[in-house]
A and B are shown apart, each in its own frame.
Chain A
């Protein structure tokens, strides 16, 4: 057990997991050429539509969310501090 305790902390393990992911991703794209897909949406038929959409979609999602932080992020006790202020104003 003690050996597997920090299994995921080893850079080696992380490297192998990432390599596995890259290989699987590559395989999945290659499958696009091999497998005949029946499609309904006009864009769906493009080779690599789903991989590109998934990747780009997620990057956009994260970047937009980061941008949202600028406008929406407040300190952790934002509302608690506010509640007390409002509470004081009542008296």
Chain B
């Protein structure tokens, strides 16, 4: 079969269609074959490949490959492959088809050379991914998916408004550096920011991701936010504001993660924390920092995917995901335990694991550009990440007190998917050159110098010591069945209540008016009825002679009037 120069998203859309029409092993084969063919297609595309088009006089570039986006292309193929293998046991056409369309939309968005194409795939990301939330088929997943969709579509509309103004101003739709100047740029910036999970705009992520199915969350964690990171890196590198936004994103979620009970929600918070590091890198904007952001996005998809997969396996086997209900699972799921620990070590940036080689680039860049306070915040966030994702997740799920749950080890396909991810985590950690070689800018950076290794190890071991100390002192907050209020409270509680209150007031006024009119009408009706009753004015019998007499009177009156 000859495939030459297809737009990267096309095969995935085809695969989504095939997945919808096939069943069982055939579907599994078709999906895997699609990913393999699509990867081959991407590999064969020449450097600087571009597709030009024109729509109503506007020059478009639906596909463009360059240094910044081609690594994302491969990353999304790896993520899709891992996700599809992880979900091979699932027999749910909706989920499997949606995940292919979703991955395709992500490819479409990162390879979009113009803003209009970007917008189309931006919205497609929202429309295709929401089905992965709804696929859980619970009432909570449904309402959470609704909120997710609304916010994602709003992000798209902000983007569209920004694009229209941008086109009006510049007369071009090319998707290149925009820079934070003027209303159009701000609209685009905030549109991107929603999907980057900027503080206070982040709640769609922590709300919806943990409500999805075990495999749905694995897909969700890989694509939307990384597309947004790519878009930010393309349009707003070196925007200083991003450094501060990123630093706050790296810090605030770790507090929530410490007290959150739903372990997949803990991971959702830690996903925002990792995005914070990338945003800082983009904000610094030097070659080293952008390299760091892209490298960290690459690693994050894999180790965060691995962590979500391990927790998904726990949810799949035990039906539970709250830290307060789990514990002691290493006895039942030893392989999952080890794979989870690999993911935990990677996200915590232990030397020899993937997080270390990319996070240290961003940290170094922050120091080089003299963002000293930001650097301290990032260091704090690094210690905190180890605390909640590195220790809390494996500890409360697999160790801690024995919950008494005995279940089967994760299914083989899940173990294979986690195994691939774990291999990549260690592989990149040990041989970072493989990753560095493919970064947007040429680099001679090396993470493995004595200072980095020693200081990072010190930081992590003393964080672990803090965990042990707090636990022994009984000061560590226990896992409690609870909901923690976050920014989504505003649109889930006061706003619906306010709207509910206004509606109720409206109906009350409406009701009162109706009642008044009704009572007037009823009174009038009552009067009429009275007049019509026996001996009422309107129902009396009148004798014929009286009638004649009255006729005479009337005639006389008319005659009189005539002659006056």
- In contact, B466 and A55 (Cβ under 8 angstroms): yes
Residues of A in contact with B, size category: 35 or more
Which residues of chain B have C-beta atoms less than 8 A from A38's C-beta?
451
Whether a CB of chain A sits under 8 angstroms from the CB of B465 is yes
- In contact, A37 and B463 (Cβ under 8 angstroms): no
Whether a CB of chain A sits under 8 angstroms from the CB of B176 is no
Instruction: Report the separation of the CA atoms of residues A56 and B465 in the bound assembly, to the nearest whole angstrom.
Output: 10
Instruction: Report the separation of the CA atoms of residues A38 and B496 in the bound assembly, to the nearest whole angstrom.
Output: 56
Closest-by-CB residue of A relative to B401 is A9
Whether a CB of chain A sits under 8 angstroms from the CB of B375 is yes
Number of B residues with CB within 8 Å of any CB on chain A? 59
B380-397 near A? 1/0 per residue, CB < 8 Å: 100110010000000000
Instruction: Report the separation of the CA atoms of residues A9 and B379 in the bound assembly, to the nearest whole angstrom.
Output: 33
A6-B383 in contact given A37-B455, A86-B496 (Cβ < 8 Å): no
> Most chain-B CB neighbours within 10 Å: which of A54, A59, A80, A82?
A54
Which residues of chain B have C-beta atoms less than 8 A from A69's C-beta?
259, 477, 482, 484
Name which of B230-238, B339-347, B467-475 contacts chain A: B467-475
Considering the complex, which residues of chain A in the window 1-30 have a beta carbon less than 8 Å from any beta carbon of chain B?
5-6, 8-9, 18, 21-22, 24-25, 28-29
Instruction: Report the separation of the CA atoms of residues A56 and B254 in the bound assembly, to the nearest whole angstrom.
Output: 15
Whether a CB of chain A sits under 8 angstroms from the CB of B330 is yes
Interface residues of B (CB under 8 A from A): 140, 143, 254-256, 258-259, 261, 328, 330-331, 367-368, 372, 375-376, 379-380, 383-384, 387, 399, 402, 450-451, 454-470, 475-477, 480-486, 492-493, 496-497, 500, 503-504
Shortest beta-carbon distance, B461 to chain A, in Å? 5
- In contact, A40 and B331 (Cβ under 8 angstroms): no
Instruction: Report the separation of the CA atoms of residues A28 and B35 in the bound assembly, to the nearest whole angstrom.
Output: 45
- In contact, A62 and B482 (Cβ under 8 angstroms): no
- In contact, B466 and A59 (Cβ under 8 angstroms): yes
Provide 26 A-B residue pairs closer than 8 Å at the C-beta atoms, listed in order of the A residue. Answer: A8-B399, A21-B468, A29-B458, A37-B450, A37-B455, A41-B376, A44-B455, A50-B458, A51-B459, A55-B463, A57-B384, A58-B383, A58-B462, A61-B383, A62-B470, A63-B475, A65-B255, A68-B255, A68-B259, A68-B484, A69-B477, A72-B484, A72-B486, A79-B493, A86-B497, A89-B504
Residue from the list B331, B460, B466, B504 in contact with A6, Cβ < 8 A: B331
Closest-by-CB residue of A relative to B144 is A79
Closest-by-CB residue of A relative to B465 is A25
Instruction: Report the separation of the CA atoms of residues A82 and B140 in the bound assembly, to the nearest whole angstrom.
Output: 12
Instruction: Report the separation of the CA atoms of residues A74 and B95 in the bound assembly, to the nearest whole angstrom.
Output: 32
Closest-by-CB residue of A relative to B330 is A8
Count: A-B pairs, CB below 8 Å:
158
A75-B483 in contact given A25-B465, A54-B466 (Cβ < 8 Å): yes
Instruction: Report the separation of the CA atoms of residues A71 and B496 in the bound assembly, to the nearest whole angstrom.
Output: 21
A41-B372 in contact given A8-B330, A28-B461, A51-B462 (Cβ < 8 Å): yes
Residue from the list B259, B379, B461 in contact with A65, Cβ < 8 A: B259
Instruction: Report the separation of the CA atoms of residues A18 and B463 in the bound assembly, to the nearest whole angstrom.
Output: 14
- In contact, A37 and B454 (Cβ under 8 angstroms): yes
Main secondary structure of the interface of B (DSSP, over half): helix
Shortest beta-carbon distance, A81 to chain B, in Å? 10
Main secondary structure of the interface of A (DSSP, over half): helix
- In contact, B258 and A62 (Cβ under 8 angstroms): yes
Instruction: Report the separation of the CA atoms of residues A90 and B254 in the bound assembly, to the nearest whole angstrom.
Output: 37
Which residues of chain A have C-beta atoms less than 8 A from B330's C-beta?
8
Shortest beta-carbon distance, A37 to chain B, in Å? 4
A58-B467 in contact given A38-B451, A39-B451, A63-B475 (Cβ < 8 Å): yes
Which residues of chain B have C-beta atoms less than 8 A from A71's C-beta?
485
> Most chain-A CB neighbours within 10 Å: which of B140, B462, B485?
B462
- In contact, B466 and A58 (Cβ under 8 angstroms): yes
Shortest beta-carbon distance, B398 to chain A, in Å? 9
A51-B497 in contact given A18-B468, A73-B480 (Cβ < 8 Å): no
Instruction: Report the separation of the CA atoms of residues A45 and B456 in the bound assembly, to the nearest whole angstrom.
Output: 14
Q: A39-B451, A65-B256 given. 20 additional CB < 8 A pairs?
A: A6-B331, A18-B468, A28-B458, A35-B450, A52-B462, A53-B459, A58-B463, A59-B469, A62-B476, A63-B475, A66-B477, A68-B484, A72-B484, A72-B485, A73-B485, A74-B482, A76-B481, A83-B143, A86-B497, A89-B500
Which residues of chain A have C-beta atoms less than 8 A from B259's C-beta?
65-66, 68-69, 72-73
